[in-house]
Amino acid sequence: MSKITMPNKNKTCQQSLIPLNSKPLNVKNGRLEQIDWLASPNYNHRPEGVEIDTIVIHNISLPPDQFGQTDSQGMHHVKAFFTNCLEYEAHPYFQTIKGLEVSAHLFIERDGAITQLVNFEDRAWHAGLSSYLGRDKCNDFSIGIELEGSDFQPFTEMQYQALASVIVAIYQAYPKTRRHLTGHSDIAPVRKTDPGEYFQWIKLRKMVSEQLKSSVNTNLNS
């Protein structure tokens, strides 16, 4: 019998690592330069003529309220979930999300490590049924950022720092987003509660405005 070589089903689960950068972050061709890239298949094109003008913050943890858990291959459960590679047998909760095809543009772990899964120019599947300022289908015009976290625990300082850095980079690449920074619970209030009451909006906004000020100063001085 001749040997048949099967295509590698898990190809998309393998992460291409790019060394972590020195700040500030920069968006080029829809991607944050120098951060980890892990391609999610869960995206499609944004509708023609729709501009990116909103940033949506989420939280996620798999299993719920547990952080940094990895599968038998050493892959983070959330990254596996966003690339349709989650080992659904590994935990009873995973059975309840089996087959869901979702993603976000960015995932920020507890230690502040950032992974980009979908090009900003493409439409990630993070918001679901949603409405923001009278506009439905928020995935069409937004960038989705998932923080590893839950509604019941504080986020880490490293996450706020990483989040502020990526928001500043996004503001510079897509200036209309400066006016629309929101949470999943605000665009899908009946269905969703994330990023939750522990998420410190004022702290984030202060960090973002400080970074913006220092980036302006850097530009003036260069």
Contacts with Zn ion, residue ranges (CB under 5 A): 58, 184, 194
3-state class of 207 per DSSP? Answer: helix
Shortest gap between Cβ of 4 and Zn ion (angstroms)? 42
Pick between residue 57 and residue 169 the one whose CB is nearest to Zn ion: 57
CB closer to Zn ion out of 36 and 194:
194
Residue 109 vs 194, nearer CB to Zn ion? 194
Q: How far is the CB of 59 from Zn ion (least distance, A)?
A: 7
Q: How many CB atoms lie within 10 A of CB 49?
A: 5
How many CB atoms are located within 10 Å of the residue 74 CB? 6
CA distance 118 to 39: 6
- Is 197 a residue of the active site? no
Instruction: Considering the complex, state which of residue 26 and residue 193 has its C-beta at the smaller distance from Zn ion.
Output: 193
Structure tokens at 103: 């993603």
**DSSP one-letter string for 136-197:** E-GGGTEEEEEEE--TTSPPPHHHHHHHHHHHHHHHHHSGGGGG-EEEHHHHSTTT--TT-T
Quick one: DSSP state of residue 52?
P
Among the listed residues 51, 121, 146, 197, the single catalytic one is 146
Tokens of residue 106, six digits: 């960015």
CB of residue 35 to Zn ion, shortest distance in Å: 21
State the catalytic residues. Answer: 146
